[in-house]
Structure 1
Amino acid sequence: MQTKEKSGLFNRFLNVIERLGNKLPDPIVLFIILMIAILIASFFAGMAGLEAENPADGETIQAVNLLSGSGMVQILTEAISNFSAFPPLGMVLVVMIGIGLAEKSGYFETAMRRAIEVSPQKLMLPAIILVGIIGNVAGDAGPIILPPIAAMVVMRLGYHPFVGLVMAYAAALGAFSANVIPGMSEALAMAFTVPAAQILNPDYTGNLLMNYYFTAVATLFLLIIIFYVTKKITIPRLGTYEGEEMTSNEPLKRKEITALRWANVSVILAAIFFMIFVIPENGILRNPETGSIVQESPFMDSIVFILTILFFVPGLVYGLVAGTLRTSKDFGRMLSDAMGTMGSYIVLVFFAAQMLAYFNWSNLGPIIAIKGANLLETMNVSGIPLFIGFIILAGLINMMIGSASAKWAILAPVFVPMFMLLGYDPALTQLLYRIGDSFSNPVTPMLPYLPLLLAFAQKYDKNAGLGTLIAALLPYAIVLFFAWTLLLIVWYLLGIPLGVDGPIHLPES
């Protein structure tokens, strides 16, 4: 059965969404527009005397006109410090050194391919899904590398290649926030959660693992869900494939397998090295006063750099053994190429940092948060209905803006303080956003991976179109929404912490 592009009301709706989304400006331009909008809003709010009473201390917060003389001086003199002092910028760039080397040397791609090659046939589909979910830690490698490999693997199992394409794509993106290995998604989310929380609580710090317990459990749970959708919906709907099998999926070379083996050994040895300083009661990475591993400990303060090393070491070893890293010039080029991919993020952060600073200086953030929280209290909207509403909102915005960091940079300054005023910890607000951003990822036309997936699909069926993919991916998005939400509700009702120092509710003062 050859999959054909479908037409109908729903696909026409998706085409409208795509056209509208394509008309949105680049995220960098969007932030410039928001900066200007905040300045104008601060002018009118300041002139109107807009204010709100802070329920935490009873003080009155007044809107500040940033277009006044003193406001303009502040904008001009603190622009560079807004950017350079943006707390998570260095953290994200440092993590990228390790992840970038592991990706550029070929370690991530080989690890994915090998995991699929060695899996028993009965476990092949779950293995692909697991690699897709865990592969999120490799950034772009998951949705770019895995789908074409999965397509060729499932063909050998007698399935339509589109099964592999859409299943791997849904696993890599629909379960984007689930993982047992902390990585870039945590760092990028925290990059905007912390400054947003500091609007109300300047002492708030947060940490990379504040959602970890939830996302680790979600890894296994969503694996089962995606496998179920594949078996019950995707495979029966797509049927069999009658086209020519692609034979470009050559098995890994012995040298690549050897390099992968030594790289895996090296990361285990590196992990053991750090465990030596953590596990003993007098370990130097524990809190020297309390002996805690997570509470104000050197281990938590250095977790970002430790993760960087745990990515860097296997990437380096793989490159040396496999021959992808032969000279010091290769080493420098890989690191430069990896950091080069962060160029757009660095520019984005510059304007996002200015926007957050304007939002903070103008007091519009806390005023909107206080009034929004008061409105929600008046409407008696809290708990599970509030959580579901925010997840849906984040999912809808994802249909228009593909960049996860761009969306959270816009939403965090409003919703993190608002939820804090309702008694919820920033770790929960961040998790709600990550869920909303994840479940809708497979069907949003705003991600650059969807056109690439279409190109892969057209190798098997030249008549395949966007509607073909959306129709195959939509069941995953719908079921993942309910799966993510159900897990969250159960977690909330049980009152389990979301991660390390990641409570659901703010601690009572």
Structure 2
Amino acid sequence: MTNQNPIFIRLLNWLERTGNQLPHPTLLFVYLCALVAVLSALLTWLGVQAIHPATDETLIVRSLLSADGLRWMVTHTVKNFVSFAPVGTVLVAILGIGLAEHSGLLGALLRALVARTRDNLLTAGIVFAGVLSSLGADSGYVVLVPLAGFAFASAGRHPLAGIAAAFAGVSGGYSANLAIGPLDAILAGLSTEAVKLVADAGVAASDNYYFMIASTALITALGTLATQRWVEPRLGHYASAEPTEAFADKASDPVSYRWTLIVSLSWAIALLAATVPSDGILRNPNTGSLIGSAFLSGIVTLIALSIASASIAFGFENKRYRRATDWIEGMEKSMASMASYLVLMFFAAQFVNYFAWSGMGAIAAVKGANLLATLAIPSAPLLIVFILLCAVINLLIGSASAKWALLAPVFVPMLYLLGISPEATQLAYRIGDSSTNIITPLMPYFGVVVAFAQRYDKNLGIGTMMALMLPYSLLFLGGWSIMLLAWMWLDWPIGPGGAGF
């Protein structure tokens, strides 16, 4: 293979070297907590203030290094963490989704989707499966990406094209899906914490759902186009198309879904009975509407319970589970895998709450909104600029939740004061973040995908993988942005409950 754009590859290599010099995300929040404390003291001494445009209240900066600030930090450390919105909802969701991975259900579904797809629809099937697999990202990377290479090789096509298509679907399409997953809960929690700096408002995990459904079709189409139009022709013919035994064994593993289907249908019937009738128990008891209902506010719990039930049924039906302790062990393993996330969230929670208590977030939002208002940039181009900013930042900071914990306290209130809803700001962030995941080595699974690709090309390096994935990144960024503009122009809601721009 040859690099068609060596100048751009050198730029990406420079970004890689620069990004590797950044501290660990958790350590980054430790430094930011210290920075907020020092900066709050400095701005208090300087007398920085602003006037709230809605209430005419004078906003001042409170020093975290004052006596009041030190007392507040000591007494609120535990509360900051346990009440931090992304923590509880994500852990509940992971109990269900982690069990789907542990029982083998998620991997089996992905394998079945790819194995039963006709050759002429193979590319679209792999990209689509990748998008759906973002509910359990590890399964997508570990199961679907190598399986896609095997599937393409079995079809006489270049396996690296299959790996690229799967990688684009799993990671590039991370903010598209037909179901609500842990990322929705994480981002919605951070957005809620951020908008509360300036208003008594919140963002639900389902508030980007309509746009996510449409994005699933968009990413599938764009991923298929990039693979067949640019990636596969550039790779050319692959000399050896012999699949490895490991992939073949996984692909042919017999699986039964009878009890899994029965449990899933039972859940679907129960949820329909609880939400379709006007007096359904999961509707709002005061209005009879789904807006403000237990169904929407508890959707993460319902998803976790339904997935866990189906996964347990699958595990026992296929002899992966033989005792009750087996699925309990699966839940324990899924919680154990969240250890680094919990450490990260502890310091992120302190940073967000320090920032909020000091008042700097509200003042920055007001002053930033005033500046943007003087520039008179319409909402649509303003969101496009924000998407591009997020796409660039994503090249240097790989964690979606870590980046949003940094950006949300500033941009959600700022754009809210300019008339852009927090749901729309979060949506724009997701577009920018997802579009460049597949071209940055700082994304945690980038190296894993490179290792899978090296099974077919031992000389393949990071630059080659970046060049391979660049068409997907550019198409996703451009196509998603155009769809966002069209959605705004048509004034469609982006989620249930009337969530819009």
CA contact (8 A) 2:379 2:420 kept: no
Give me the whole-angstrom Cα distance separating, in 2, the residues matched to 1:345 and 1:36.
21
Deviation of 1:171 (Å) = 1.1
The separation in 2 between residues aligned to 1:502 and 1:64, in whole angstroms, is: 36
Query: For residues 181 and 272 of structure 2, what CA distance do their matches in structure 1 show?
Result: 19
1:432 and 2:428 are equivalent in the alignment: yes
Aligned length: 500
Contact 1:6/1:468 (CA < 8 Å) preserved in 2?
no
Counterpart amino acid of residue 381 in structure 1: I
For 1:8-407, what aligned pairs fall within 5 Å after superposition? 8-201=6-199, 203-243=200-240, 245-248=242-245, 249-250=247-248, 256-258=254-256, 260-293=257-290, 295-407=291-403
CA displacement at 1:180 relative to structure 2: 0.9
| Structure 2 residue 470 is the aligned partner of structure 1 residue 499 | no
What SS does structure 2 have at the residue aligned with 1:323?
coil
Q: In the TM superposition, what is the alpha-carbon distance from 1:177 to its structure 2 partner?
A: 0.4
Moved beyond 6 Å, runs of 4+: none
Structure 1 CA distance, aligned partners of 2:423 and 2:340? 26
1:380-430 alpha-carbon deviations (Å, 9 max, x no partner): 123122111111111111111100000000000000000110011110010
Q: TM-score, normalised by structure 2?
A: 0.97
Amino acid at match of 2:343: V
- Equivalent pair of 1:151/1:164 in contact (CA under 8 Å): yes
Q: CA deviation at 1:281?
A: 2.1
User: Are the equivalent residues in 2 in contact too, given 1:179–1:219 (CA < 8 A)?
Assistant: yes
Q: 1:7 to 1:228 in 2, by over 3 A?
A: closer
Partners in 2 of 1:11 and 1:303 — Cα distance?
43
- The aligned amino acid for 2:395 is M
Pairing 1:408–2:404 present:
yes
Question: CA distance change for structure 1 residues 155 and 254 in 2, over 3 Å: closer, same or farther?
Answer: closer
Q: Say whether the 8 Å CA contact 1:457–1:464 is kept in structure 2.
A: yes
Counterpart amino acid of residue 376 in structure 2: N
- Could you state the TM-score of these two structures normalised by the residue count of structure 1? 0.95
Q: Find the aligned partners of 2:195 and 2:5 in 1 and give their Cα distance.
A: 45
SS at the partner of 2:248?
Answer: coil
Q: Does 1:448 align with 2:463?
A: no
Contact 2:191–2:202, Cα closer than 8 Å, also in 1: no
Cα distance per residue 1:251-290 (max 9 Å; x no partner): 56887421x3432332122121121111122211112222
Checking the alignment, whether the CA contact within 8 Å between 1:5 and 1:463 is kept in structure 2 is no
**Partner SS state of residue 275, structure 2:** coil
Q: Distance in 2 between matches of 1:120 and 1:269?
A: 31
2:153 and 2:241 in contact (8 A); partners too: no
- Amino acid in the other structure paired with 1:279: V
CA distance in 2, matches of 1:219, 1:244: 30
Indicate how the Cα distance of structure 1 residues 230 and 72 shifts in structure 2: closer, same or farther if over 3 A, else same: same
Cα contact 1:144–1:449 (8 A) shared by 2: no
Instruction: Give, as a single letter, the amino acid of the residue that structure 2 aligns with 1:228.
Output: L
Equivalents in 2 of 1:418, 1:397: separation in Å? 18
> Which residue type is aligned with residue 352 of structure 2?
L
Question: Quick one: which amino acid aligns to residue 466 of structure 2?
Answer: I
* Shift in Å, 1:302: 2.0
Hey, what's the Cα distance between the residues in 2 that align with 1:450 and 1:502? 37
Deviation string, structure 1 residues 301-358 (Cα, Å, up to 9, x no partner): 3212111112111111111111222223322221111011111111111111111111
Matching residue of 2:473 = 477
Q: Distance in 2 between matches of 1:434 and 1:493?
A: 19
Give the C-alpha shift of residue 493 in structure 1: 0.8
Tell me which moved more, 122-131 or 324-333. Answer: 324-333
Cα displacement string for residues 147-186 of structure 1 (whole angstroms, at most 9, x for unaligned residues)? 1101111112221110001111011111110111111110
SS at match of 1:52: strand
CA distance in 1, matches of 2:132, 2:55: 44
Taking structure 1 as reference, are residues 216 and 7 closer, same or farther at Cα in structure 2, changes over 3 Å only? closer
For structure 1, which runs of at least 5 residues remain unmatched after alignment? none
Measure how far apart 1:291 and its partner are: 1.1
What's the offset of the Cα at 1:123?
1.7
Give the CA RMSD over aligned residues: 1.6
